[in-house]
Amino acid sequence: MADTGLFLLSDVFGQEDEAGRLLQVTQVVCRCLECSCHFTARPNEGLIDLDGGAILACPMCPNRQAISMARFADFLQLRL
């Protein structure tokens, strides 16, 4: 698990290029550290795609955080 400061990431899924570089995050399983809500963020359901990253938004409280693609990629590397 990875602590982003506002969320605890359990799993991350995304699209990668041929070299294995993360291009887009498509799903994040996480827990909000503000209200303890466990949820799976998907596009338009708590996951907002950005150039170079994504925004996670808790469905139960106003907590939200922009996270860089590099941070998500680091999480995926640690998971291997």
pLDDT in tens, 2-28: 999 999 999 999 999 999 899 999 999
DSSP per-residue string spanning the chain = -EE-SSEEEEEEEEEE-TT--EEEEEEEEEEETTT--EEEEEETBEEEEETTEEEEE-SSSS-EEEEEHHHHHHHHHHH-
Query: CA quadruple 17, 20, 22, 28: dihedral positive or negative?
Result: positive
pLDDT tens-digit series, residues 41-73: 999 999 999 999 999 999 999 999 999 999 999
d(CA 23, CA 57): 20
